[in-house]
Amino acid sequence: MTTILKHLPVGQRIGIAFSGGLDTSAALLWMRQKGAVPYAYTANLGQPDEEDYDAIPRRAMEYGAENARLIDCRKQLVAEGIAAIQCGAFHNTTGGLTYFNTTPLGRAVTGTMLVAAMKEDGVNIWGDGSTYKGNDIERFYRYGLLDQRRAADSISRGWILILSMNWAAVMKCQNS
pLDDT of residue 95: 75
Burial of 6 (0-12, 13-18, 19+ CB in 10 A): exposed
Distance CA(38)–CA(14), nearest Å, equals 5
Question: What is the reported pLDDT for 173?
Answer: 44
Single pTM value for the model: 0.74
Mean pLDDT check: name the lowest of 79-88, 113-122, 137-146. 137-146
The more confident residue out of 96 and 70 is 70
- What's the pLDDT band for 153 if we cut at 50, 70, 90? very low
Q: Sketch out the chain's domains with CATH numbers.
A: 13-175 (3.40.50.620)
Between helix 136-146 and helix 103-121 the angle, nearest 10°, is: 40
Contact 17, 41 (CB under 8 A): yes
